């Protein structure tokens, strides 16, 4: 090992505090990149493997009642590789002690064989015996949420008849990763169940012997999906087909995709911002560090080392820190990615995990670190090389402050000497101070934007559940019922307000952009559930036109005044041309609103409702729920409080949960930046500070000279960082928004105040750490060193 | 009989431990009378700077006592040592240690702001002959001028004692002489005790008392009956 390498190791050891502080910032930036891309890659891989292993269908074709012989015709469609007919049906599960019955979907499994498509993963118990009509498998997440186990019995109402079943096993299925009750948007394990039972038993319950009401199809490689969908629709049309749809539109898959896309957006958008901040900081720190090595560089040159040898030596030092940090970041990223993937695997209910890392993230993380460190080091080395050894070694002339002497003379009357020192240092080296300030401002921006995002999530919940939806209970009917049902609800004691609603499934089309969703008909004088514009003013739902949510208008790329095609997927299934009249503020889902009467007229089904919003007297809630349960037209009752809780769970455990990880990382980076700024300032001034102590300044008075500078720079950085954070938060909010929910950028002073407190807190903590060093500094030693 | 401003009893300073321990001071017993110019002379590593640092309140002894007037510096807390430096001690260093961001006048004010009984900063600069350069920053002053500002800063508080560690070490002979002259003036006009650490033996000629150091001990103390002026010193 050459003496220079020995020196390198000793130098690293000597500056370990600073080196570690820089390394951590780099590490965290790189870790974020590796972790997020690893998470997204792993989730996509796991999902693909799960879908493939359990043969999830590519096409779902619901139909009213189709005879089994159609299966051959479906299988003969070009591009179709397998067909599985099945029977599905809505059910209500009665649970002991529950106020409202739980909605469920019953799904058939073929008798005496495994399903060709949409197989299930048996996680507990055994498979059903096809001969026993009372045996069922229950969706594991639902069973867990309700505390049900194999061997338990439950009773359920199917097609109007109440029956008792024995749970023999618990199952998971790629088809039901997310479960949402019909008419609801937010998935909730506890409030929607899936029951699997034998085809023969289920067919008997729903009068489907020799027939099916849903066909599952898989496609061969390279098949034309649209052509298959058209062909399926043509075959099933006469039997009440409501339109085949691809896996992409399947509800569970769509939510899952949205969540993964949400994570992907944050993985693509956010880590580079963090890494850029880390890289910038690295540049500044390296720059100042090499500057302080000036004398040693002169000495080495005096010994006869060439510029390139000296350069290589310092380059190695810089690289050791940068690469060390980057590698630590990779390891941290792998560990973090694995932990996060495990978390999301549980959350998405994947029965297994395929952990895979994205090599590109390592390459870009490490190279960005090396690049920024190199640039920082080289820029400074260049200026140091320009010095002759003699100049570099001579006791440096005191830094020239004469230019600052003129300015602020009137200020001098006000300021004592230590304050003047603080002020002059800032004004003399505006570039260096600006560097420190921008660094801290970046920290402020990261914190402010993350806290703004937190506020945005709160805003989404508040707007959705307190402003737009002011009901207490939502009731959905088994079918589009007549208005008399509404009158019946109004007569119920304890019900203070009832508002009809009609949900109509439809495909919305604007040119090439389509969206499979629901058109919601609201009454003209709605008070419980309203369409609101961005100023939260009510949008009147007129006789003509449709109002789209901002998210939906974006998906369809349509503006008010343009015509929208609405392909209704219910009843007569008409195709309607409706003008878009307004865009509504909605942060949950992608709703489309119409006047209820206008909607019914367009469908030529006057006076039909599919559900109602209720406002009730809470004191009589139980009584009301019991009565609702006894109404034959009521398919489901959901409480807004449950929905809100489910939504919070979704945002706090799904893709949204990553905001806490990012918030923590933002804090680490913010702290790293502030601490580094304080450390460097200290390293540069150690001799001045020791001199002050020697001439009789107390520890506190001495610390003021250094920390005053940090305080001024920090305070200047706050407004600048706040502004930067405001713009940054748009990018981050977009990263967190998806089709399921949107996160707005809320300009709320409290968030910025809190972010400011975080930065000031970091500054105080850093100041305290550095002050400890000032207090401990060896005065004699500091005086002997010549700057 | 003059009173002693400093006296030490068995003053010991050890750096490091075990085999690598370095004995910088080995039980020094010493009395320094007030109002004198005292030169501490010796090769580097002989312990003279260590002694200066301890009685100047910058460092602590490993063992033994160091009295300033009748107060034991070894018993003082950090806070009391700071107070001691602030009220009684002026320092002059080889590399001046001025604040680059403050003008000559302000560098002196830095001390007068916190001192108990300071002189006017202008008067202090007058003593060192820098009346015309008060608004200059250190970068605009020569080495000798910077050292004179440092002396002005040290004397402006009306110190009881002035410590100078190689005050002329970085200066040429002419500038060096003028700095020594200033130190002598301070001693004569203000009555401050002046302790000069140097390894330039010729400067001993201007002292009232010369203390020779070797291997962490006092080897010899010489009292000059006749002192030379700084101008008369061989450089």
> Which tens digits make up the pLDDT trace of A436-482?
788 788 888 888 888 888 888 888 888 888 888 899 998 888 788 88
Q: Tokens standing for A693? A: 């102590």
Of the listed ranges A252-256, A284-288, A712-716, the one predicted with least confidence: A284-288
Taking alpha carbons only, the member of A656, A345, A609 closest to residue A482 is A609
Taking alpha carbons only, the member of A314, A275, A288 closest to residue A679 is A288
The separation between CA A577 and the C-alpha centre of its own chain, rounded to angstroms, equals 35
**Sole residue written with tokens 């419980």:** A528
pLDDT of residue A412: 66
Of the listed ranges A8-22, A149-163, A330-344, A696-710, the one predicted with least confidence: A8-22
Mark yes or no for CB contact A696/B140 under 8 Å.
Answer: no
A540 secondary structure, DSSP code: P
Q: Which of B91, B138, B146 sits opposite A694 (nearest CB)?
A: B91
pLDDT of residue B113: 81
pLDDT of residue A787: 39
Averaged pLDDT, A257-262? 82
| Highest mean pLDDT out of A86-90, A354-358, A749-753, B197-201 | A86-90
Q: Are A86 and A175 in contact (CB under 8 A)?
A: no
Tens-place pLDDT, residues A744-777: 888 888 888 888 988 898 888 988 888 888 888 7
Mark yes or no for CB contact B110/A417 under 8 Å.
Answer: yes
Averaged pLDDT, A570-592? 88
Tens-place pLDDT, residues B27-81: 999 999 999 999 999 888 888 888 988 998 888 899 999 999 989 999 998 888 8
Question: What helix, strand, coil percent values describe chain B, rounded to 5?
Answer: 35, 30, 35
Q: Tokens standing for A378? A: 């080289």
On chain B, the residues whose CB falls within 8 A of the CB of A418 are: 110
pLDDT of residue A612: 93
> CA–CA separation, A744 vs A730, rounded Å?
8
**Residue A413 exposure: Cα atoms within 13 Å on the Cβ side:** 2
Taking alpha carbons only, the member of B143, B28, B134 closest to residue B96 is B143
- What average pLDDT does the structure give for chain B? 87
- Number of neighbours of residue B73 by Cβ within 10 angstroms: 22
Q: Which of B77, B99, B103, B109 to mutate to test the interface with A (most CBs of A within 10 A)?
A: B99
Q: Which helix (H) or strand (E) holds A147?
A: none
> CA–CA separation, A678 vs A662, rounded Å?
24
Asked whether the predicted pLDDT for residue A411 surpasses 70, the reply is: no
CA distances to A103, A128, A137, A196, B84 from A106, rounded to whole Å, are 10, 14, 10, 6, 89
CA distances to A56, A507, A759 from A244, rounded to whole Å, are 15, 11, 55
A–B CB contacts, 8 A cutoff, strictly below = 100
Mark yes or no for CB contact B139/A421 under 8 Å.
Answer: no
**Sole residue written with tokens 């996060």:** A340
Q: Which of A688, A696, A783 sits opposite B85 (nearest CB)?
A: A696
Taking alpha carbons only, the member of B139, B126, B61, B53 closest to residue B98 is B139
Asked whether the predicted pLDDT for residue A84 surpasses 70, the reply is: yes
CA-based R_g, chain B, Å: 17
> CA–CA separation, A10 vs A296, rounded Å?
14
> CA–CA separation, B212 vs A778, rounded Å?
27
Query: With left for phi above 0 and alpha for psi between -120 and 50, is residue A79 left, alpha or beta?
Result: left
pLDDT of residue B138: 86
pLDDT of residue A566: 95
The ipTM, to two decimals, is: 0.76
pLDDT above 90 coverage of chain A, percent:
31
Q: Quick one: three-class SS letters along A231-242?
A: HHHHHHHHHCCC
Q: Which of A401, A688, A696 sits opposite B82 (nearest CB)?
A: A696
Q: CB under 8 Å to A665, separation ≥6 — which residues?
A: A28, A31, A32, A274
pLDDT of residue B231: 82
> CA–CA separation, A29 vs A5, rounded Å?
28
Asked whether the predicted pLDDT for residue A296 surpasses 90, the reply is: no
β-partners of residue B33 are B4
Asked whether the predicted pLDDT for residue B150 surpasses 80, the reply is: yes
Taking alpha carbons only, the member of A442, A474, A559 closest to residue A184 is A474
- Number of neighbours of residue A626 by Cβ within 10 angstroms: 11
On chain A, the residues whose CB falls within 8 A of the CB of B137 are: 398, 400-402, 405
> CA–CA separation, A679 vs A676, rounded Å?
5
Q: Are A187 and A255 in contact (CB under 8 A)?
A: yes
Mark yes or no for CB contact B146/A398 under 8 Å.
Answer: yes
> CA–CA separation, A336 vs A328, rounded Å?
12
Tens-place pLDDT, residues A590-628: 899 999 999 999 999 998 999 999 999 988 888 888 888
Confidence at B196, pLDDT banded by 50, 70, 90: very high
Tens-place pLDDT, residues A25-65: 788 888 888 888 888 889 899 999 999 999 999 999 999 99
pLDDT of residue A409: 62
On chain B, the residues whose CB falls within 8 A of the CB of A416 are: 113
Choice between A660 and A520, residue whose per-residue pLDDT is larger: A520
> CA–CA separation, B127 vs B132, rounded Å?
12
Confidence at A562, pLDDT banded by 50, 70, 90: very high
Averaged pLDDT, B134-143? 86
| Highest mean pLDDT out of A157-161, A210-214, B57-61, B176-180 | A210-214
Q: Which helix (H) or strand (E) holds A69?
A: none
CA-based R_g, chain A, Å: 33
pLDDT of residue A782: 62
Give counts: helices (H), strands (E), chain A: 24, 20
Query: With left for phi above 0 and alpha for psi between -120 and 50, is residue A44 left, alpha or beta?
Result: alpha
pLDDT of residue A389: 64
pLDDT of residue A289: 66
- Number of neighbours of residue A76 by Cβ within 10 angstroms: 11
> CA–CA separation, A678 vs A706, rounded Å?
8
Give the B-side interface with A, CB within 8 Å.
53, 58-59, 78-79, 82-83, 85-87, 89-91, 93, 95, 97-103, 106, 109-111, 113-115, 135-140, 146, 153-154, 157, 170
Taking alpha carbons only, the member of A139, A167, A137, A134 closest to residue A152 is A167
Q: Which helix (H) or strand (E) holds B193?
A: strand B193-198
pLDDT of residue A556: 93
Chain A residue at shortest CA distance from B90? A695
Measured in angstroms, the CA of A682 and the nearest CA of chain B are apart by: 15
End-to-end alpha-carbon separation of chain B, Å? Answer: 33
Tens-place pLDDT, residues A356-377: 888 888 888 888 888 877 777 7
The separation between CA B82 and the C-alpha centre of its own chain, rounded to angstroms, equals 16
Bridge-based pairing of strands A546-549 and A563-568 is: unpaired
Indicate whether this model's pTM tops 0.80: no
**Sole residue written with tokens 């230019």:** A403
Confidence at A786, pLDDT banded by 50, 70, 90: very low
Averaged pLDDT, A637-641? 85
Taking alpha carbons only, the member of A203, A202, A101, A87 closest to residue A155 is A101
Q: Long-range contacts of range A158-161, CB-CB < 8 Å, 24 or more positions apart?
A: A158/A89, A158/A91, A158/A106, A158/A205, A158/A206, A159/A89, A159/A205, A159/A206, A159/A207, A160/A632, A161/A205
- What average pLDDT does the structure give for chain A? 85
Tens-place pLDDT, residues A27-38: 888 888 888 888
The separation between CA B24 and the C-alpha centre of its own chain, rounded to angstroms, equals 19
Choice between B186 and A392, residue whose per-residue pLDDT is larger: B186
On chain B, the residues whose CB falls within 8 A of the CB of A402 are: 136-137, 139-140
CB-based burial, A562-575: b 16+ in 10 Å, e otherwise: eebbbbbbbeebee
Q: Are B103 and A405 in contact (CB under 8 A)?
A: yes
pLDDT of residue A157: 85
Measured in angstroms, the CA of B231 and the nearest CA of chain A are apart by: 28
Asked whether the predicted pLDDT for residue B186 surpasses 60, the reply is: yes
Q: Are A766 and A711 in contact (CB under 8 A)?
A: no
β-partners of residue B4 are B33
Choice between A694 and A237, residue whose per-residue pLDDT is larger: A237
Q: Long-range contacts of range A642-649, CB-CB < 8 Å, 24 or more positions apart?
A: A642/A188, A642/A191, A643/A184, A643/A186, A643/A188, A643/A465, A643/A474, A644/A461, A644/A464, A644/A465, A646/A186, A646/A187, A646/A188, A646/A191, A647/A186, A647/A461, A647/A464, A647/A465, A647/A588, A647/A741, A648/A461, A649/A188
Asked whether the predicted pLDDT for residue A331 surpasses 90, the reply is: yes
Tens-place pLDDT, residues A206-241: 999 999 999 999 999 999 999 999 999 999 999 988
């Amino acid at each position: 090992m050459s003496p220079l390498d020995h020196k390198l190791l000793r130098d690293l050891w000597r500056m370990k505090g600073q080196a570690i502080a820089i390394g951590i910032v780099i590490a965290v930036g790189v870790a974020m990149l590796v972790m997020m891309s690893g998470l997204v890659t792993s989730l996509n891989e796991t999902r693909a493997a799960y879908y493939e292993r359990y043969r999830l269908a590519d096409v779902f074709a619901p139909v009213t009642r189709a005879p089994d012989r159609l299966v051959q015709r479906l299988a003969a469609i070009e591009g179709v590789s397998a067909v599985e007919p099945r029977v599905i049906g809505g059910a209500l599960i009665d649970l002991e002690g529950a106020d409202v019955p739980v909605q469920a979907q019953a799904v058939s499994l073929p008798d005496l064989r495994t399903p060709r498509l949409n197989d299930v993963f048996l996680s507990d118990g055994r498979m059903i015996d096809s001969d026993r009509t009372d045996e069922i498998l229950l969706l594991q997440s639902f069973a867990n949420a309700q505390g049900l186990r194999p061997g338990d019995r439950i009773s359920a109402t199917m097609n109007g008849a109440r029956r008792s079943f024995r749970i023999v096993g618990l199952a998971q299925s790629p088809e039901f990763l997310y479960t949402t009750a019909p008419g609801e948007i937010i998935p909730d394990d506890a409030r929607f169940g899936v029951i699997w039972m034998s085809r023969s038993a289920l067919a008997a319950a729903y009068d489907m012997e020799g027939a099916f009401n849903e066909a599952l199809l898989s496609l061969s490689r390279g098949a034309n999906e649209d052509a298959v969908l058209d062909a399926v629709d043509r075959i099933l049309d006469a039997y009440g087909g409501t339109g085949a749809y691809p896996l992409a539109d399947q509800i569970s898959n769509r939510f899952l995709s949205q969540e993964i896309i949400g994570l992907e957006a944050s993985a693509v958008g956010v880590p580079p911002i963090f890494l850029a901040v880390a890289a910038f900081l690295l540049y500044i720190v390296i720059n100042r560090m090499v500057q302080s090595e000036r004398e040693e560089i002169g000495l080495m040159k005096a010994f006869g080392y060439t510029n390139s040898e000296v350069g290589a030596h310092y380059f190695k030092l810089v690289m050791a820190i940068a690469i060390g940090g980057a590698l630590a970041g990779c390891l941290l990223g792998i560990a973090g990615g694995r932990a996060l993937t495990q978390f999301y695997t549980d959350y998405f209910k994947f029965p297994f995990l395929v952990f895979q890392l994205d090599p590109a993230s390592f390459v870009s993380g490490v190279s960005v670190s090396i690049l920024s460190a190199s640039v920082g080091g080289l820029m400074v080395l260049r200026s140091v090389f320009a010095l002759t050894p003699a100049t570099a070694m001579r006791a440096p002339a005191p830094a020239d402050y004469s230019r600052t002497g003129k300015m602020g003379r009137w200020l001098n009357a006000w300021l004592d000497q230590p304050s003047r020192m603080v002020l002059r240092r800032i004004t003399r080296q505006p570039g260096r101070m600006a560097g420190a300030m921008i660094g801290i401002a970046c920290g402020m921006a990261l914190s402010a934007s993350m806290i703004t995002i937190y506020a945005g999530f709160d805003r989404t919940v508040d707007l959705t559940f307190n402003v737009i939806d002011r009901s207490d209970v939502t009731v959905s009917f088994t079918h589009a019922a007549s208005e008399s049902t509404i009158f019946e609800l109004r007569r119920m004691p304890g019900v203070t307000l009832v508002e009809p609603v009609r949900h109509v499934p439809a495909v919305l089309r604007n040119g090439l952009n389509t969206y499979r969703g629901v058109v919601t008909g609201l009454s003209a004088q709605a008070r419980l559930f309203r369409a609101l514009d961005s100023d939260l003013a009510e949008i009147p739902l007129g006789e003509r036109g449709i109002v789209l949510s901002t998210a939906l208008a974006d998906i369809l790329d349509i503006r008010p005044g343009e015509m929208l095609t609405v392909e209704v997927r219910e009843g007569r299934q008409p195709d309607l041309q409706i003008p878009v009249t307004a865009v509504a503020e909605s942060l949950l889902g992608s709703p489309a609103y119409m006047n209820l009467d206008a909607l019914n007229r367009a469908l030529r089904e006057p006076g039909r409702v599919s559900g109602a919003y209720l406002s009730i007297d809470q004191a009589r809630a139980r009584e009301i729920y019991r009565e609702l349960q006894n109404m034959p037209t009521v398919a489901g009752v959901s409480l807004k409080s449950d929905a809100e809780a489910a939504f919070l769970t979704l945002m706090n455990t799904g893709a949204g949960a990553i905001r806490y990880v990012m918030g923590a990382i933002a804090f680490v980076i913010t702290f790293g930046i502030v601490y580094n700024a304080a450390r460097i300032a200290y390293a540069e001034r150690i001799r001045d500070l020791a001199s002050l102590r020697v001439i009789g300044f107390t520890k506190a008075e001495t610390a003021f000279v250094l920390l005053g500078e940090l305080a001024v720079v920090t305070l200047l950085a706050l407004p600048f960082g706040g502004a930067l954070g405001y713009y940054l938060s748009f990018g981050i909010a977009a990263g967190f928004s998806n089709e399921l929910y949107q996160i707005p950028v809320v300009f709320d002073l409290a968030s910025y105040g809190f972010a400011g407190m975080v930065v000031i807190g970091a500054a105080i903590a850093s100041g305290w750490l550095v002050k400890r060093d000032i207090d401990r500094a060896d005065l004699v030693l500091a005086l002997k060193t010549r700057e | 009989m003059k009173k002693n401003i400093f006296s030490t009893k068995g003053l010991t300073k050890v750096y490091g431990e075990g085999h690598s321990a370095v004995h910088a001071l080995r039980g020094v017993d010493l009395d320094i009378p007030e109002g004198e110019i005292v030169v501490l002379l010796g090769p580097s590593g002989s312990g003279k700077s260590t002694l200066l640092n301890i009685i100047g309140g910058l460092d602590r002894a490993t063992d033994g006592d160091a009295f300033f007037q009748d107060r034991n510096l070894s018993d003082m807390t950090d806070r009391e040592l700071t107070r001691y430096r602030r009220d009684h001690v002026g320092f002059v260093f080889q590399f001046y240690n001025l604040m680059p961001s403050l003008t000559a006048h302000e560098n002196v004010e830095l001390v007068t702001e916190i001192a108990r009984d300071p002189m006017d900063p202008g008067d202090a600069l007058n003593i060192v002959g820098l009346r015309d350069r008060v608004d200059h920053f250190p970068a605009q002053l020569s080495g000798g001028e910077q050292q004179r500002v440092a002396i002005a800063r040290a004397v402006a508080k009306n110190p009881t004692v002035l410590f100078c560690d190689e005050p002329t070490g970085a200066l040429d002979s002419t500038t060096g002489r003028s700095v020594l002259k200033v130190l002598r003036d301070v001693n004569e006009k203000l009555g401050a005790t002046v302790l000069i650490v140097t390894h330039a033996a010729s400067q001993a000629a201007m002292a009232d008392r010369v203390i020779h150091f070797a291997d962490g001990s006092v080897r010899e103390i010489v009292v000059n009956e006749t002192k030379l002026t700084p101008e008369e010193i061989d450089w």
